[in-house]
């Protein structure tokens, strides 16, 4: 099944966090564009489900279990991916997430958040990207070509309330994206690009109950606050984010490098007045 507007036939990709909503859609759309995709996820079952869905549409994909906070796990996943596809042209770092233990609440003041919990969330959202870029980036450096897209968050551009470690991790990932783009060009090849897509608020099955009342379908109080802060007046979709990632992965985006691109309906541009 072809993907209108982008032809990635003959390309080989790794998508981390590919068992989730956003990265899963990215993996699907890369496969539709003709790319052979290795779907990495902490849950091997979820990775395989995405791969099976892509294959069901005529794409080529494999599911690979991978913990992006473990160098050994990344190394094993890379070996499996290279055994299947031979090389890697595209890396999409989609693994990430927050945790209640690092989110302030009435029963969890900032002063009592455990540093080990902060470290764990930082490892997932920042160090996981760094280590995957080390492993897959080495393949690209040897080939002197490739495209890396990190899925970060507008929370790394404008910190949100409460989610301290998540915001810090995404901010570090945004900064690393720009650093790595320069480093790869100056040290290895002008044909290696590194960018980040920073999604705003996206309605998924994981957060729908927090933002929409399940009985009425109307926004919850939290949902209303979110929508008031987004000039576009709506949530984004996983499809919109995936479309941008696929574009950045292709040759038509050849002069986009070192960019952190918000896709947030204007949220990061709005001061609230």
pLDDT digits (tens, 9 = 90+) for 117-164: 999 999 999 999 999 999 999 999 999 999 999 999 999 999 988 999
Please compute the mean of the pLDDT values over residues 174-179 and round it to a whole number: 98
Tokens 């927050």 identify what position? 98
Domain made up of 12-200+238-259: CATH architecture = 3-Layer(aba) Sandwich (3.40)
Tokens 């070192």 identify what position? 258
pLDDT of residue 262: 97
Is there a contact between 193 and 141 (Cβ–Cβ < 8 Å)? no
Choice among 3, 126, 166, 235 that is catalytic? 166
Read off the pLDDT of residues 10-69 as tens digits, 9 standing for 90 and up: 999 999 999 999 999 999 999 999 999 999 999 999 999 999 999 999 999 999 999 999
Could you give the C-alpha distances from 113 to 37, 102, 109, 164, 170, in angstroms and in order? 38, 6, 7, 10, 18
Residue 166 is among the residues annotated as catalytic for this protein: yes
Using CA atoms, how far apart are residues 184 and 192, in angstroms rounded to an integer?
Answer: 6
pLDDT of residue 204: 81
Name the pLDDT band for 5 (thresholds 50, 70, 90): low
Share of the chain above pLDDT 70, in %: 97
Tokens 């970060």 identify what position? 152
Domain ranges in the chain are: 12-200+238-259, 204-235
Using CA atoms, how far apart are residues 173 and 169, in angstroms rounded to an integer?
Answer: 6
How far the first Cα of the chain sits from its last, in Å, is: 46
Residue 2 has pLDDT above 60, yes or no: no
Residue 1 has pLDDT above 50, yes or no: no
Residue 231 has pLDDT above 60, yes or no: yes
């Amino acid at each position: 099944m072809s993907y209108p507007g982008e032809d990635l036939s003959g390309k080989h990709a790794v998508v981390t966090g590919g068992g989730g909503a956003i990265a899963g859609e990215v993996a699907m759309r890369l496969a539709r564009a003709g790319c052979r995709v290795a779907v990495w996820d902490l849950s091997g079952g979820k990775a395989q489900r995405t791969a099976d869905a892509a294959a069901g549409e005529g794409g080529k994909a494999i599911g690979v279990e991978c913990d992006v906070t473990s160098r050994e796990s990344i190394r094993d996943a890379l070996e499996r991916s290279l055994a299947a596809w031979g090389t890697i042209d595209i890396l999409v770092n989609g693994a990430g997430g927050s945790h209640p233990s690092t989110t302030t609440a009435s029963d969890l003041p900032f002063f009592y958040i455990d540093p080990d919990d902060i470290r764990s969330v930082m490892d997932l959202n920042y160090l996981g990207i760094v280590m995957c870029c080390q492993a897959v980036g080495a393949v690209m450096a040897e080939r002197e070509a490739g495209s890396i897209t990190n899925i970060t968050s507008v929370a790394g551009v404008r910190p949100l309330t409460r989610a301290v470690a998540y915001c810090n991790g995404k901010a570090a990932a945004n900064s690393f994206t720009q650093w790595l783009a320069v480093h790869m060009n100056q040290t290895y090849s002008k044909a290696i690009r590194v960018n980040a897509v920073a999604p705003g608020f996206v309605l998924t099955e994981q957060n729908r109950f927090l933002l929409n009342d399940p009985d009425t379908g109307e926004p919850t109080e939290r949902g209303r606050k979110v929508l008031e802060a987004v000039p576009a007046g709506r949530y984004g979709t996983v499809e919109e984010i995936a479309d941008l990632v696929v574009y950045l992965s292709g040759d038509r985006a050849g002069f986009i490098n070192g960019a952190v691109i918000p896709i947030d309906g204007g949220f990061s541009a709005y001061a609230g007045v």
